[in-house]
A and B are shown apart, each in its own frame.
Chain A
Amino acid sequence: MTPRLVAEGVACSYGEKTVLRDFSLAAEPGTVTALLGPNGAGKSTALRALSRLLRPRAGTVTLDGQDVWRLPRRGFGRQVAFVPQSEAVAWPMTVEQVVLLGRLPHRGWLLPYSREDHAALRTALRQVDLEDFRERDLDSLSGGERRRALLARALAQDARVLLLDEPGAHLDLRHQMELFGLLAGLARERRVAVVLSLHDLNLASLFADRAVLLNEGRIVAQGPTQDVLTPGLLLETFGIAVETVPHPRRGVSMILPIPEEIPGDPR
């Protein structure tokens, strides 16, 4: 059973500066929710508040009704996984070692890894197509491959809620499609709740069921993706004029930005 991770009226600040206010979101099982907005809108902050990394100044974050800050870290880690945008890896570590660490919430910090842990490792590597990379050092991988390794760790964590910070960044087209396809598949088939932040509006349109538009720390709009990705709301949020056209195969809105007129440019 997928637990419900809910944020209500969350406000966060770094020092004196409030970067997120009145943020409410329910990570619905079986759905992919996209957090969208310009840089500095508060997307990463919202994700960190949801993943129990940043303590909100106001509001609550609950998992199945319980305040997440009252839950033991390990217990929370078994249910909710966070995939950061990047990770500094100072020392050579193999993919296997990094992914196996995802079993920490289950195995604990002391006991040796079990057969079950290794099975979860293999499954996770297969899901992200990194089986051949098992013994490779993490820093010998490309940016995209590294991202998939981090995702594999979250998968090995066997969490029912996945929070990802810009998972598509630096991935080539094919891997982007694969990654989002994988996430959408997990949501659909395993009822995993996925919340991720995104810059590419069209990817959001293709793969996210729900979208949250953020601007300057506030929610501008929230709801089914197709209702949120409208020219009016996007102009208000990004300050860019857009037109939407339906995707020829899927029917979902594809966002076409309209560049400013350049005098003398025939286009």
Chain B
Amino acid sequence: MSRRRYAFLLLGLGLALALAAVFSLAVGSTDIPARRTLEILTTSGPSLERTILVDLRLPRIFLAIVVGAGLAGAGTAYQGLFLNPLADPFVIGASSGAALGATTSILLNLGALPLAAFLGALGAVGLVYLLGSGGGGGSSSPLGLLLAGAAVSTIVGSLVSLLMILNDKSLGVIFNWLLGGLSTATWRELGYGAPMIGAGLVLLGLLSRPLDALALGDDTASSLGLSVVGFRFAIVLAATITTAAAVATAGIIGFVGLVAPHAARLIVGGRNGRLLPASCLFGALLLLLADDAARILAEPREIPVSIVTALVGGPFFLYLLRQRARPA
């Protein structure tokens, strides 16, 4: 794909995202006519409508964009790192760790739920990294990480379930949090999440070329002068910070981190320097539209956004399957 075409693609995605954001401003149970929206936003004067637009809808839109981009970016990095098309941001334990952190905070009434979730996610991935590095003389092979990730996720996940059942007073709270959602998003959540997700994504962007080299195998990357252990760690760190921040602010939202990289890869190819930005834009668009759907489809109740993303993700994989089956 030539440079010009790529630039056009990014521009197109950016435009689509902007349009979706504007459209999303109109989504909500309160009817605010589109024409008045601009007027309300620009001319001052506090009003109910302004509060709804500025304090509820706007931060929610931005959070959906940021979290969608973050999950897509982390998913791209993990798929590249593990050479596994089924890798998603939660494959090495971030989600179960965040759940444990959140559960602990709820049970012990510690408050600061996002922080607890964030630390829990980092802790779990750290544990996975330690365990996964056990074999191979200190180097963390992708397979080792995946296996350790599966083990830790399962064990920590069971721990969370156990805690939930033993203390069923908090069961509802934890369950709700796990389902994920942007419905109570305010500027505060955005303030927590955006800087960390932004930092993680920038870091991943810088690490694009090492990610490419690592995708060709440890031997190749090493012979090209890269420290395999060092760069793998850096990529896992950047992707985990992004994922942890996303989960801490919006709960566990599946499929975005899995589907967006695939969609982008179909168009852009596998080089991470190009794939990452495209994937992030796709992810942002996907989550924003999914959130809109979650709000519109079952008024006044909201469908948890994870269910919508799953409804999109499932058929998408069927489509991918068909693409592969077709002779090249």
Contact = CB atoms under 8 A, between A and B. Distances in A.
A and B touch in the complex (CB under 8 A): yes
Interface of A: 48, 51-53, 72-78, 80-82, 84, 87-94, 97-98, 101-102, 104-105, 109-110, 137, 140, 157
Contacts of A93: 212, 215, 269-271
Interface centre among B85, B207, B213, B220 (most CB of A within 10 A): B220
Contact of B223 (A53, A90, A98, A140): A53
The 5 closest A-B pairs by CB, nearest first: A91-B270, A77-B225, A74-B225, A90-B83, A105-B225
Contacts of A87: 216-217, 220
**Majority-rule SS of A interface residues:** mixed
A93 B231 CA distance: 20
A104 B213 contact: yes
Contacts of B84: 90
Interface in B219-257: 219-220, 222-227, 231
Contacts of B210: 109
A114 to B, nearest CB: 14
B224 A102 contact: yes
Given A89-B216, A101-B213, A76 B225 contact: yes
Contact of A77 (B209, B224, B231): B224
Interface in B82-104: 83-85
A201 to B, nearest CB: 27
Contact of B269 (A52, A94, A101): A94
Interface residues of B, number: 28
A3 to B, nearest CB: 16
Contact of B222 (A73, A81, A110): A73
Contacts of A109: 207, 209-210, 213, 226, 231
Given A87-B217, A88-B83, A90-B83, A101 B227 contact: no
B80 interface: yes
Interface in B66-118: 79-80, 83-85
Contact of A97 (B206, B271, B328): B271
Given A101-B213, A109-B209, A140-B328, A73 B226 contact: yes
B216 A157 contact: no
Given A92-B270, A97-B212, A97-B271, A157 B217 contact: no
Contacts of A81: 223
Given A91-B270, A93-B271, A48 B219 contact: yes
B305 to A, nearest CB: 28
B222 A84 contact: no
Contacts of B79: 91
A59 B200 CA distance: 43
B217 A82 contact: no
B216 A101 contact: yes
Contacts of B222: 52-53, 73
A146 to B, nearest CB: 12
B269 A92 contact: yes
B265 A91 contact: yes
B269 A137 contact: yes
Given A88-B83, A92-B265, A109-B209, A52 B271 contact: no
Contacts of B213: 101, 104, 109
Given A77-B224, A89-B215, A98-B216, 19 more contacts: A51-B223, A52-B222, A78-B225, A80-B223, A84-B217, A87-B216, A91-B215, A91-B270, A92-B265, A92-B269, A93-B271, A94-B269, A97-B212, A101-B209, A101-B216, A104-B225, A109-B213, A110-B206, A157-B224
